[in-house]
């Protein structure tokens, strides 16, 4: 699910949140990239996919949760829950996943502010320019 081409971006977001919709608006303006979107509000993720995401991000499963959410504070924080159970919880409680997440073939980033995508686009363009110079 997270094996991407050089010019492909996988964008995980929750269309039920204003901040994620704003970030999506910025992502679709990225030039020269194939945007492969996954709206977690409308589409289910499996425990395997979520586990792969944690691995790709190089984080623990617990780190996939939005720690600022009421759900996390009331149901997860401070409790001893196995990774298997945490994955099952994320499948059921989609809004608990920290989003939006932008994934390229070389990096993964949780977007804190939608406007970060503008500076990321500039970095992408700079990298592409350097790659073309080195040909």
- pLDDT of 130 over the 60 cut: no
Domain boundaries, the chain: 8-133
pTM for the complete prediction? 0.83
Each residue of 2-13: pLDDT tens digit?
778 888 999 999
| Banded model confidence at residue 104, pLDDT cuts 50, 70, 90 | confident
Look at residue 132 in the predicted model and tell me its pLDDT. 44
Q: What residues have CB less than 8 Å from 105, skipping those under 6 apart? A: 3, 4, 5, 6, 8
The CATH code belonging to domain 8-133 is: 3.40.30.10
DSSP code of residue 61: G
């Amino acid at each position: 699910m997270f094996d991407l081409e050089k010019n492909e971006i996988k964008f995980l977001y929750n269309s039920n949140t204003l901040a994620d919709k704003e970030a999506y608006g910025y992502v679709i303006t990225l030039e020269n990239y194939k945007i492969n979107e996954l709206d977690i509000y409308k589409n289910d993720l499996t425990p395997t996919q979520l586990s792969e995401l944690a691995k790709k991000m190089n984080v623990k499963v617990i780190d996939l949760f939005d720690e600022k959410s009421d759900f996390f504070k009331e149901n997860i924080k401070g409790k001893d829950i196995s990774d298997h159970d945490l994955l099952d919880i994320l499948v059921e409680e989609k809004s608990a996943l920290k989003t939006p997440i932008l994934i390229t073939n070389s990096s993964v980033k949780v977007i804190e502010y939608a406007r970060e995508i503008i500076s990321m686009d500039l970095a992408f363009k700079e990298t592409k320019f350097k790659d073309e110079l080195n040909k």
